[in-house]
Amino acid sequence: MVSMDFFPGVGRLGVAFSGGVDSSVLLALAVRDLGRDRVVAVLGVSPSLAADEREAAHAVARFIGVAVVEVTTFEGDRDAYRANGPDRCFHCKDELFTRIADEVVTAYRLDAVAYGENADDAQRPDRPGSRAATQHRVLRPLADAGLDKAAVRRLAREFALPCADKPAAPCLASRIPHFQPVSREKLAQVERAEAALRGLGFQDLRVRHHGDVARIELPPADLVRAVADPLRAEVHKAMLAAGFRFAAVDVAGVQSGAFTLPLVQRA
């Protein structure tokens, strides 16, 4: 287990918590170093958070031994967020950190707020949420310690976290192509489609929203299974039930930053 001072000068800490591997490791480290009575897990709740992700986050926090404080975020009320440009994540994180500052910091007497950016994410050009963290003076202990994705996964296993092998699960808005407006209806549609696929036994997945078309991203090992009988008909039926007219399986597999990276790399 890595031993270093992740939180120098911090007495009470709020962790922007999603239940993903990064924020869960950050929460576990905070509890280890500061004590559970000095740590608050803060979960932002909005239509961009899938219901099963919300439940899973609470389960991980219970395992770590920290109560979750939920804050309702209203990024969907922001014109710039709904417009869905490459900076959409900035507006989402700015809303989250603003709500935490307004509703949690004083109420829980926090000295600082931290979030789970790791060293790999810190090098990527498609993470505008990092700019919001900087503006709100939110700490990023994992990145500052040089912990990359692989190191964070190792720590998750050492802590025996239930999410240690969980695939990355970006917010539902990331499934909508940039410059196509984000709406509650589209987010709900994607959530229904992805929940149905998980019910069919798929775990690492994305359903990209292209109007009438659901473009399904799966790891290479799952591609054949998704288009072969008997699951092929079930996958198609699930996408229709979610409100799409057509279902397409993308042979490129799961693609992190599929919509944002091409835009920011071209800039």
Structure tokens at 161: 């976290």
* 171 in active site: yes
Q: Which of 140-144, 202-206, 262-266 shows the lowest mean pLDDT across its residues?
A: 262-266
Q: At what angle do helices 184-199 and 231-241 cross, to 10 degrees?
A: 160
In which order are the strands placed within the sheet that holds 68-72? 68-72, 39-45, 13-16, 112-114
CB burial of 64-87 (b: ≥16 within 10 Å; e: otherwise) equals bebebbebebebbeeeebeebebb
Residues of the chain with pLDDT > 90, as a percent, come to 88
Instruction: Please give the CATH number for the structural domain made up of 13-158.
Output: 3.40.50.620
Task: For residue 257, name the pLDDT band (cuts at 50, 70, 90).
Answer: confident
pLDDT digits (tens, 9 = 90+) for 183-229: 999 999 999 999 999 999 999 999 999 999 999 999 999 999 999 99
Active-site annotation holder among 89, 92, 163, 171: 171
At 1 the pLDDT is 65
* Boundaries of every domain in the chain: 13-158, 172-262
Topology, domain 172-262: Alpha-Beta Plaits (3.30.70)
